[in-house]
Amino acid sequence: MRIAFINPQGNFDNNDSYWTQHPDFGGQLVYVKEVALALGEMGVKVDIITRKIVDDEWVGFSKDVEIYHGNENVRVVRIPFGGDKFLPKEQLWPYLANEFINGIVEFYKKENTKPDAITTHYADGGLVGAILSNIFDVPFTFTAHSLGAQKMDKLCVNKENFDEFERRFNFSKRIIAERIAMNRSYVNIVSTAQERYNQYSHKYYKGAVDVNDDKKFKVIPPGVNTKVFTYEYREEDDKTKEYIYKYLRRDIAEDRLNLQYVVLSSRFDKKKNHKGAVLAFAKNKKLQEKANLVIVLRNVENAFEDYSNLNVEEKEIMDEIMSIIKQYNLYGKVSMFPINGQKQLASAYRVFSKLRSVFCLTALYEPFGLAPIEAMYAGLPAVVTKNGGTLETVDRGRYGVVVDPENPEDIAEGLIKALDNFDMYKRLGIERVESKYTWRATAVGYLKVIEEALGKREEIEDYYYTGAQEENLIRKMKGMLGD
């Protein structure tokens, strides 16, 4: 069997380049990588089809085809479209239905083959998959990872600012693509039941899919790379410990070095709500007596002195954090330093686990969140937001601590609870991951859905997209914003 993974803005390479350096390079890439490699290990041939980039500032994406991470069954296929230079995903829409799709068709024509099935990722991949499904006469699945309607809600899009956000994010194109994908796919793959019932039921998707139709949805949780994120000691951990303590000795008061730590390691993004966790720490003296706060940054050696190389949004977040540190005189209690790549991050988690520390994610909303389960399997109890799939990750508090991300007092109390019960939550977190969240289990879930789809193939009608349809959708979206 050959399965095509459609991920236009994926930018996959064997070095996992830039994965922490752009909002397009989030957990979605980890997800696609791990499912693809797990399927490859099971003997399935996988093509990760993405965009070819020839750009001196984004090196590593210029080869047409390459074997992925040494797995001979998995290859990255790069199709040139939208020019040579790197483009954010919001700028790819004009090139998908012609250059990208035509390039994919030509690629398989030259090989005199085609995929047996397609699985699509994000809205742009879903749109492409719906069209290719007709061209190749094969079934496709849709994994949204996140949906545009929820992003609009979090950005507080309203009638007054709609046009501004539309120009920036192309929400109408994204949502029409999502509607097509969720309607035409054989199955919509979701990480949690909450994602199915809460996100796909949004008013912008009314009529596209019935959330109560069990045939249209399959819950398949993501997994942890247990070869990297493991609680078992690794040789590199001693070197990582030296690396971390260099920064801890720089930032943390000497008499506090051996306290427990609260670790924030999420991507710097306002929706991750670093500010909420820092404020919770700042306002709670009991928490400060128990632990220090660690914030993992990218490409910032010493944020206390300079963070001018961050982008505009990241600087705004850091400005807020530095203001809180100054206001509450948290100097000597907070350390900030860079971590480079997944292996060093996993090793850092193990080092902090030895210090009986905890992982904290206070995102305003988290669709699923790989980060908490990675930290859990590396030995850190997880304190997570109640908003989103993380509630299911820890089974509503059975395997971790759930907090209200907009309530600093609740966050602080949750952190104290996790710190005080470190051994119990560490054990429960490891048990939870081993029983439910491995990538092989995720890959098996995909394979079962695809095999079922191949056995129940039905003829699909062509879908014709017109600009009038998009204009009509924009009118409807604007009309709903006041409801």
Q: How many other C-beta atoms are found inside a 10 Å radius of the C-beta of residue 14?
A: 13
Residue 185 pLDDT > 70:
yes
pLDDT for 458 equals 52
On whether the CB atoms of residues 61 and 78 are closer than 8 A, the answer is: yes
Write the CA distances from 79 to 76, 95, 153, integer angstroms: 10, 11, 33
Mean pLDDT of 141-162: 93
Radius of gyration from C-alpha coordinates of the chain: 23
pLDDT: which is higher, 201 or 479? 201
For 413-460, how does the pLDDT look when each residue is reduced to its tens digit (9 = 90+)? 999 999 999 999 999 999 999 988 999 999 999 999 999 999 875 544
Give the model's pLDDT for residue 389.
Answer: 83
Beta bridge partners of 295: 264, 336
Portion of the chain with pLDDT greater than 70, in percent? 96
Per-residue confidence band for 192, with pLDDT thresholds at 50, 70 and 90: confident
Asked whether 146 and 169 are in contact (CB, 8 A), the reply is no
Which stretches of 151-290 are assigned E, i.e. beta strand? 187-190, 217-219, 260-264
pLDDT for 10-21, tens place per residue?
Answer: 789 999 888 767
Answer whether 405's CB lies under 8 Å from 386's CB.
yes
Helical H segments across 63-142, by residue range: 93-95, 101-111, 122-136
CA distance 478 to 160: 9
Q: Is the pLDDT of residue 59 over 80?
A: yes
Contact criterion met (CB below 8 Å) for 84 and 163: no
What rounded mean pLDDT belongs to the chain? 93
Q: What is the model's pTM?
A: 0.74
Which has more confidence, 478 or 316? Answer: 316
Assess whether pLDDT exceeds 60 at residue 462: no
What's the pLDDT score for residue 213? 96
* Three-state DSSP state, 116: coil
Q: Write out pLDDT tens, residues 352-405.
A: 999 999 999 999 988 777 899 999 999 999 999 999 889 889 999 999 999 999
**Residue 28 pLDDT more than 90?**
no
Cβ contacts of residue 245 below 8 Å, gap of 6+?
A: 257
pLDDT tens for 239-255 read 999 999 999 999 999 99
Q: Are 381 and 401 in contact (CB under 8 A)?
A: yes
Angle at 178 between CA 468 and CA 312, to 5 degrees: 100
Tell me: pLDDT of 26 over 90: no
CA distance 256 to 170: 49
**% of the chain residues with pLDDT over 90:** 81
pLDDT exceeds cutoff 80 at 465: no
pLDDT tens digits, residue range 76-108?
999 999 999 999 999 999 999 999 999 999 999
Q: Which two tokens stand for residue 149?
A: 């309607």
pLDDT exceeds cutoff 70 at 468 = no
49 has pLDDT over 50: yes
Q: What is the DSSP string of 170-202?
A: -HHHHHHHHHHHHHHSSEEEESSHHIIIIITTS
Q: d(Cα 182, Cα 208) in Å, to the nearest integer?
A: 7
pLDDT single digits (tens) 246-302: 999 999 999 999 999 999 999 899 999 999 999 999 999 999 999 999 999 988 999
pLDDT score recorded for residue 87: 95
pLDDT digits over 119-133, tens only? 999 999 999 999 999
Q: What pLDDT is stored for residue 367 in this prediction?
A: 77
